[in-house]
Amino acid sequence: MLVITHLHSMAAVSVLAMTFSLYLFRRRHRYWLIAMLLTVFGGMFLNVVLKNIFHRARPHFDDPILTFSSYGFPSGHTMAATCFYGVVAAFAIWKIRAWPRRVLAVTLAASLVLLVGFSRIYLGAHYLSDVLGAMMEGLAWLALCLTAANTTWRVRFRADHPPEFHDGCAMTRSRNFFRYFSSGIIQTSYFPKTRYRLRATRL
Q: Is 29 a catalytic residue?
A: no
CA distance linking residue 137 with residue 121, whole number of Å: 17
Judge contact between 84 and 24, C-beta under 8 A: no
| Half-sphere exposure (Cβ direction) of 18: Cα atoms closer than 13 Å | 6
Does 74 sit behind a cis peptide bond, omega within 30 degrees of 0 on the bond before it? yes
CA distance linking residue 45 with residue 37, whole number of Å: 12
Provide the CA 201 distance to its chain's centre, in angstroms.
32
Q: Which residue in 29, 60, 126, 166 is the catalytic one?
A: 126
**CA angle in degrees (0–180, nearest 5) for 179-98-116:** 90
Q: Which residue in 60, 77, 161, 166 is the catalytic one?
A: 77
Q: Pick the closest to residue 188 from 111, 86, 98 (CA basis).
A: 86
Judge contact between 92 and 102, C-beta under 8 A: yes
Three-state DSSP state, 98 = coil
Q: Is 77 a catalytic residue?
A: yes
- What residues are annotated to the active site? 77, 126
